[in-house]
Amino acid sequence: MNDAAIGVFDSGMGGLTVMRALMARLPQESFVYLGDTARLPYGTKSGDTVTRYAVQAAAALVKRRIKLLVVACNTASGVALGALEEAFAPLPVIDVIAPGAEAALAASPSGPIAVIATEGTVRAGAYVRAIHARALDVEVMSQPCPLFVPLAEEGLIEGEIVDLVIHRYLDEVLAKEPRALVLGCTHYPALKDSIARIAGKGVALVDSAETTARAVEKRLRDGGLLREGPPAPHRFLVTDTPERFARVGEIFLGRAIAPASVELIDLQ
């Protein structure tokens, strides 16, 4: 299985920020990415629906022979991780919540920590549980930011409209003076520069992508699964609008995506 690909999935393009960090840390590995673009966003849907979608997405990746699954979606990580681990055991499954909690505490060991995320992630309380499992007394505040996902998916990452939306969601949170702000959705790093400017220099922005990449590398190394040969071309699977995915996905991945590498699939 060493030469098999690493599977990565998200509701749309946001998980490409995680894949970007994975590619930088593990340049010898091959990746197959699935964006469920026909059914995004996951963050406004029920836990049962998100779990069903997540299992379908993971199954599509497993069919393409992967050696490890990365759940590059905070909402799916928060509500579907157990179901994924059970359904596809013994396949290693890495989520973004635990690495994000560790990164937040590294940035602000004594808090307070603010988490911005989708409605589903906030409702599930996944970050609060993960942070308190490591540091029970740290204050954690959560704020859903549902419009951040469509802004990022449309490539609207700066400007007056973006600033107005950020102020709408974050002014009350920032008034409580958090020392760390967790970008608790993989779409949010696309807005990172605008969020950082409004949050100010005293607030450390936490993106779980790099921490997740380190966790993946450790799991591969511990399991003797690091790739030995040259990597195969990366592949991309989407459930809708492959042309748009190739065009806008570059914002998240940080490099061009060849339209020929994007395959349209059906998860039904």
Exactly one of 50, 72, 73, 103 is catalytic; name it. Answer: 73
Q: Dump strand ranges (E) for 136-177.
A: 140-144
H or E element in which residue 217 lies: helix 209-222
Q: What's the CA gap between 127 and 74, in Å, rounded?
A: 9
Half-sphere exposure of 123 (CA within 13 A, CB side): 15
Coarse DSSP helix, strand, coil percentages of the chain, rounded to the nearest 5 percent: 50, 15, 35
Question: Has 145 been annotated as catalytic?
Answer: no
Is the alpha carbon torsion for 15, 131, 210, 56 positive or negative? negative
Q: What's the CA gap between 44 and 25, in Å, rounded?
A: 32
Exactly one of 185, 204, 209, 216 is catalytic; name it. Answer: 185
* Closest among 207, 133, 194 to 166, alpha carbons compared: 194
Residues with catalytic roles: 73, 185
